[in-house]
Chains A and B, each alone.
Chain A
Amino acid sequence: MTATADKPAAEAVELVTLTIDGTEVSVPKGTLIIRAAEQVGIEIPRFCDHPALKPAGACRQCLVDVASPGPDGNLRAFPKPQASCTMTVTPGMVVNTQHTSEEADRAQKGVLELLLINHPLDCPVCDKGGECPLQNQAMSHGRPESRFVDVKRVFEKPLALSSEILLDRERCVLCQRCTRFSKEIAGDAFIDLQNRGARQQIGTFDEDVLDFDGYRPVGAAAEDEAGRAFSSYYSGNTVQICPVGALTSAAYRFRSRPFDLVSSPSIAEHDSSGAAIRIDHRRGTVMRRLAENDPVVNEDWITDKDRFAFTWQNLDDRLTRPLIRKDGELVEASWPEALAAAAAGIRAATAPVEGDDAVAGARGTGVLVGGRVTLEDAYAYQKFARAVLGTNDVDARARVASEEEQSFLGATVAGTGLGVTFGELEKAPVVVLVGFEAEDEGGVVFLRLRKSLGRQRVVAVAPFLTRGAQKLDATLVPTVPGREPGALADLPADVREALAQPGAVIVLGERAAEAKGTFTAALDLASSTGARLAWIPRRAGERGAVEAGALPGLLPGGRAVSSKAARAAVAQAWGVDSLPSAAGRDTAGILAAAAEGGIGALVVGGVSASDLTADVEAALAATGFVVSLEVRRSEIAQAADVVLPVAPPSEKSGTFVNWEGRLRSFATAIHTDAMSDHRVLDLLAREWGVELGTATVESVNAELAALGAAGEGSGPPRRPPSRHAPPSPRRAPRCSRRGTSWSTRARSRTASRTSRAPAASPWPACRRRPRTRLESRAP
């Protein structure tokens, strides 16, 4: 399953050799001149060109002199300079850029001068100033002084395209990157060009802009191209690709200067894609987040949630000190006091009740992890539950979950390393979506699928075609919610045939857990057609929690709690006598038991009451003692007896495991004294006299590696993989296929391009677990 991940096409690429500024270069056939020039380090100025968008040739900034051999073999120069962003290379072509051709240089200077005549030159107050391609290229390729002495065109500004996106039309150079992104990449054509000539402008439909001059258009405006506001999940990308300060984000406008910001690479925490982002912060406050280019994951794009949803961690209700409930009120306390109180409270609440015949610990502790924590945190939660509290009542699935899902995750997801990748999903000839809405639940997964629009068949097993599915040109296999297994069993013959093509993928979302039998039906379908399965959960921490064993029936590395040998192996690795063997309950089970007074204490991590359908309030009220590990004063924190503050992702390091199974580790962006969950749990465990060994990311990852659960240490990004000691197979109780297959650090820039499992594992027999029927594994 891992061997072919992200492998480049094996077939030889036809190369074309040409000369650029006297340097010979060979590039694949079909390469644009501007890209070929980049290969030899020659930068041709550009505005409309963007590598991820189709060529436009609109700005005319990248003009170069071109000559190519005619039929007689003699070089023939094009009479005019050519746009290097639209012209593909041909054998023997000779290109002279601004560096070697006066004509090209003159053409570029002329275009730049024209671009600036209507540009307001308000760089000192512009958000883009300091990181602006127009400003930079005007400095490097423009005239020192403007000869334009006439009247610039003016527009009212800013124009709010949406609550997040503001448009300054005066600054716009009409490169159309934003409209092309919206049409080509996101499929949300809510903004477009309007009017013409120098009055041409970007906008949503606006009669005043269109200058109807008294007469009104008949009927309602068309809906898609212009009718609605810029309501795209990906609209923020237009701000980032805008080569001038025309599109700005409402959250960042006038807040900061680029040169005052500290930029830290990180990983987005809002979905399971593990998109690479850049956190720009100033004096400890996050100012904005941008997409980082990661070719194997999110390419150039992130969702608006990943981009704009960062203020939550710096709001007024942010917890900085522990809280203890005294006389019914939560009051600030010191860490030692709070930790002691938490431990004492849990002990007291779970002590055998006098006169009760129940065995000691029957009123045990439940641990709710939440799906938003890192791999390291999830590992600490489950270890804390099992090694300290002696319970398997630990679950990271703060959502609808099922026993069948857990069996599926243990059998086919946990410990399988890199499975279906973004690249493979993009290239899949057919993708069947089950219980999964790509645009709403998958973040950049949707963009990858849409990238293959027209080349890929998307089939949605769903009650109706969502707007997102329509944008993927998906065909619907209609089913009422809950009847997905039947729909999968009775798939139309053509879909079933299509699934037999190499590379076909069946995607299971978290809602697959809602219908009993869906996973079994999907496995049957996969085994009968040969299609591959991908499980795409919604939250960033879910795959990591599966790997870490933060599920009631799963130990780290996909081991089953029900297996005596597995328990013994983990107990040995942890240095404890034994692990609890009693079956654990899932989130719903824990909360249901709690509501009936069957749970003595609860340790709750990043769970929001709105995640759950259960009556959390009642469960918390009925529970003797609640410890909450939270970033903010959430409803659960408010109801807790002890609240231990933990760090938000930007203030800690760790690893998210994305849905592919790719390790996405990130370093601390902002250094504060906030502690990560795993460190807090390590401190808490000391109150029981237990060394949990989860004080640092490194120690957790060493344990994970020893258990063969998730590769070796997760260091800060950009660290070369070689610095990580490979896990010793001898220390691993089971074959370390996962340890090796995950050994490349996805977050390292070099590694992220090449990150893939080795073709041959040292333990070939262990590379792939035989697919087992769920029934046989179910306890």
Chain B
Amino acid sequence: MKWGFLPPDDGGPRYLVVNADESEPGTCKDIPTLLSAPHTLIEGVAITSFAIGCNHAFIYLRGEVVHVYRRLLQAVREAYEAGHLGTNIHGSGFDLDVTVHAGAGAYICGEETALLDSLEGRRGQPRLKPPFPAVAGLYARPTVVNNVESVASVPSIIANGVDWFTAMGTERSKGMGLFSLSGHVTRPGQYEAPLGITLRELLELAGGIREGHELKFWTPGGSSTPIFTQDHLDTPLDYESVGAAGSMLGTRALQLFDETTCVVRAVTRWTEFYKHESCGKCTPCREGTYWLTQILKRIEGGRGTQADIQQLLDTCDSIAGRSFCALGDGATSSIISSVTLFREEYEAHVEQGGCPFDHGASALVPYSDTPATEEAHA
């Protein structure tokens, strides 16, 4: 946990900020948690705040999910009424206020320092580190920024003990986590499981890939992680094993795609997302995603060349490892991995002058592939 990075108490305020700005494509774990059990988070907030000596905690929620916002506000109100929050909580002498803030809907605000800037009322752009938030975070005070899932797991760890928690998972990735399965899967949803579980096991829980189809590729940790294929069905989903296999566990958002899916099309959609969400601060991410989108759209539309495929990799090379924050790297992951794994599919688009796939076949609902389906934010 990040709590240990805090400097010694100097008498000034310190803050807990819960990152609930869940915006990564495919990631869907915090929103359901908050929708179904907001009190768990508030309990976690109270315990964490007590542990780090914080008297004012903030929950930065993605603004689009108004229904979750309302539910969270209601839960905070209930907690105040029940005396779990406020001044002198249950006679302990400990004060805690919780502020729920609805963000304006920017992917970058999930980056912790951009989130802090946004929370302070500034433009959401990542800050220069160091200083790290633990030293100078919100309002330049020591701040712990934790994800909803981390904070919401605190009550159960306190209740069941550390041994209970560490008994789960693998040797180095301990504990459990939410695995969000989406896409071409029979029963999509959130599956809470110990770290180290494999996709094969998760698919058994989720009823497998949709009837009559087979897995083609999948993301182990959301759209900003390099994609996996059937070969990785038995890769233990813990930080080390996934890393060793060339990807990242990330947010454990498992997006599953069967053989009807055009990988170029999927990657293009993701890249359009990154282009739209690039905060604009640094050159590689701002300009690179703009360029990548145009190349990908050209290839997808059958107007690409073989040189374009190489250009994709070269442009990714100019972004990955060069951008200000990790979002630039994330934008390139799916492109680099898909070109590596499915280069022939890119080449097919170039050679055939269009997409070889029937997009209707990959849809989960009856779907007609007309030109009118251009992205709203293209």
A-to-B contact residues, CB < 8 Å: 55-61, 63, 79-81, 86, 106-107, 110-111, 113-115, 117-118, 147-148, 150-151, 153, 173-174, 192-193, 195-200
Asked if residues A198 and B317 are in contact (CB atoms below 8 Å), the reply is no
Asked if residues B322 and A60 are in contact (CB atoms below 8 Å), the reply is yes
Contacts of B318 in A (CB 8 A): 107, 110-111, 113-114
User: What's the least CB distance linking B6 to chain A, in Å?
Assistant: 22
Supplied contacts A174-B283, A198-B289, 13 more A-B pairs, CB within 8 Å: A58-B281, A59-B283, A60-B283, A60-B323, A61-B283, A110-B314, A115-B283, A174-B286, A196-B106, A197-B278, A198-B287, A200-B279, A200-B280
- A interface footprint on B285-297 (CB within 8 Å = 1, 0 otherwise): 0111111001100
Asked if residues B321 and A79 are in contact (CB atoms below 8 Å), the reply is yes
The answer to whether B165 has its CB under 8 Å from any CB of chain A is no
The closest CB in chain A to the CB of B288 belongs to A114
Contacts of B315 in A (CB 8 A): 114
Tell me whether A60 and B295 are in contact in the complex, defined as CB-CB below 8 angstroms, given that A110-B317, A114-B318 are known contacts. no
The answer to whether B216 has its CB under 8 Å from any CB of chain A is no
- A interface footprint on B265-287 (CB within 8 Å = 1, 0 otherwise): 00000000001111111111011
Asked if residues B278 and A198 are in contact (CB atoms below 8 Å), the reply is yes
The answer to whether B123 has its CB under 8 Å from any CB of chain A is yes
Q: List 30 A-B contacts (CB under 8 A).
A: A57-B282, A59-B282, A60-B282, A60-B283, A60-B322, A61-B283, A80-B321, A80-B322, A81-B322, A107-B321, A110-B284, A110-B318, A111-B283, A114-B283, A114-B287, A114-B288, A114-B315, A117-B290, A118-B287, A148-B291, A174-B281, A197-B278, A197-B279, A198-B275, A198-B280, A198-B286, A198-B289, A198-B290, A199-B280, A200-B286
Contacts of A198 in B (CB 8 A): 275, 278, 280, 286-287, 289-290
Tell me whether A147 and B284 are in contact in the complex, defined as CB-CB below 8 angstroms, given that A114-B291, A193-B123, A198-B275 are known contacts. no
Contacts of B322 in A (CB 8 A): 60, 63, 80-81, 107, 110-111
Asked if residues A111 and B280 are in contact (CB atoms below 8 Å), the reply is no
Within 8 A of A (CB), among B172-210: none
Asked if residues B290 and A153 are in contact (CB atoms below 8 Å), the reply is yes
The answer to whether B298 has its CB under 8 Å from any CB of chain A is yes
Within 8 A of A (CB), among B312-365: 314-315, 317-319, 321-324
The 8 closest A-B pairs by CB, nearest first: A110-B318, A200-B280, A80-B321, A150-B294, A114-B287, A198-B290, A197-B278, A196-B280
In the complex, what distance in Å separates the CA atom of A59 from the CA atom of B294? Answer: 22
The total number of A-B Cβ pairs within 8 Å is: 99
The answer to whether B311 has its CB under 8 Å from any CB of chain A is yes
The answer to whether B1 has its CB under 8 Å from any CB of chain A is no
**Number of B residues, CB within 8 Å of A:** 34
In the complex, what distance in Å separates the CA atom of A540 from the CA atom of B108? Answer: 50
- A interface footprint on B129-168 (CB within 8 Å = 1, 0 otherwise): 0000000000000000000000000000000000000000
Pick the residue among A114, A174, A192, A199 that contacts B284 (CB under 8 A). A114
Contacts of A56 in B (CB 8 A): 128
Contacts of B288 in A (CB 8 A): 114
Asked if residues B284 and A111 are in contact (CB atoms below 8 Å), the reply is yes
Contacts of B311 in A (CB 8 A): 147
In the complex, what distance in Å separates the CA atom of A113 from the CA atom of B315? Answer: 9
User: What's the least CB distance linking A548 to chain B, in Å?
Assistant: 51
The closest CB in chain B to the CB of A200 belongs to B280
Tell me whether A193 and B287 are in contact in the complex, defined as CB-CB below 8 angstroms, given that A57-B324, A111-B322, A150-B298 are known contacts. no
Contacts of B282 in A (CB 8 A): 57-60
User: What's the least CB distance linking B114 to chain A, in Å?
Assistant: 11
In the complex, what distance in Å separates the CA atom of A180 from the CA atom of B278? Answer: 20
- A interface footprint on B211-230 (CB within 8 Å = 1, 0 otherwise): 00000000000000000000
User: What's the least CB distance linking A202 to chain B, in Å?
Assistant: 11
In the complex, what distance in Å separates the CA atom of A58 from the CA atom of B279? Answer: 11
Asked if residues A58 and B283 are in contact (CB atoms below 8 Å), the reply is yes
Contacts of A195 in B (CB 8 A): 280
